[in-house]
Amino acid sequence: MSRYPAVISAADLFDIIGREDVKILDATFVLPNSGLDPLADYQKEHIEGAQFFDIKDFADTENPAPHMLCGPDCFAAKIGAMGIGNDDTVVIYGQSGMIMGPARAWWTFKTFGHEKVMVLDGGLPAWKRAGLSVTGDQPPAPENSSYTAHFQPALVRSMKDVEASMSAGRLILDARPAERFSGATPEPRGDMRAGHIPGSHNIPCSQIVDPQTGCMKSHDELEALFSICKSGEKACDITLSCGSGVTACALALALYSLGYENWSVYDGSWSEWGHKNAGTQIATQ
């Protein structure tokens, strides 16, 4: 697995912005019924040259679970239409930080074999806090690029894979808030049971960032947060889950930055496992 940096600071992005091989994406994602419109907000203000990356545009529309990963050909066609090439450096940010959509977009690129992809540390707030400018001007339509996707199946887990990991006692981490993990509060999507995968552990995705700056916590702080993963080596088998495969990718981003090598995202996550008709075991606490 590549060790290309997981995140880039606002200052470092400023130093490379404008380069032809640097492509910037606003991948903001919000929960259902949030009342927010990320595309409209992107159109009001964004980093100059940034394009909008909508997770829903890269979903398998034939799968009933929300925004499940699309196939390699679909990804390649849509990324090529954005003028992005295999050798380009892709920097992804979110309007309110780096937890939600940006990490999912980063994982999507990684899953299709793109090495040079990073998340803007702290997202748009960190960019603006550094005194750097935003614009409401829309970038010109990109010229189509030839893009080839190289699917990395080791980064994706299915329900069957998770059932095997659960039976074997392998590590499963859930990125949802503690109240949803425990089943104390209902899920934001209908037809869902409350609780978690039996044997899984809760590390809410919000804990990977500093609450004051919104930037990723220090290496030592992350090591402490993921201390449950330590089995004497960085190669322990880790499955990452959440509500619908979005915030699990924030845990993936943090583990990648720490050098963990054998993590995968359960794409269906609780939207699949916790569905009332799934026939799966659940636990509450």
As annotated, the active-site residues are: 242
Alpha-carbon 161 to chain mean position: 20
Distance from C-alpha of 269 to C-alpha of 253, rounded to nearest angstrom: 17
Distance from C-alpha of 178 to C-alpha of 175, rounded to nearest angstrom: 9
Q: Using CA of residue 222, residue 224, residue 229, residue 234, what is the dihedral sign?
A: positive
- Which residue carries 């609450």 as its tokens? 211
Q: Are 283 and 197 in contact (CB under 8 A)?
A: yes
7: enclosing H helix or E strand:
strand 7-8
Contacts of residue 261, Cβ cutoff 8 Å, sequence gap at least 6: 1, 234, 235
- The amino acid at 44: K
Distance from C-alpha of 161 to C-alpha of 167, rounded to nearest angstrom: 10
Our CA dihedral for 4, 177, 200, 114, rounded to 10 degrees, sits at -20
Decide: helix, strand or coil at residue 51. strand
Q: Are 135 and 46 in contact (CB under 8 A)?
A: yes
User: CA 229 → CA 87, 223, 225, 258, distances in Å?
Assistant: 33, 9, 9, 11
User: CA 206 → CA 151, 176, 200, 247, 249, distances in Å?
Assistant: 29, 9, 18, 9, 12
Q: What is the token pair recorded at 67?
A: 């925004």
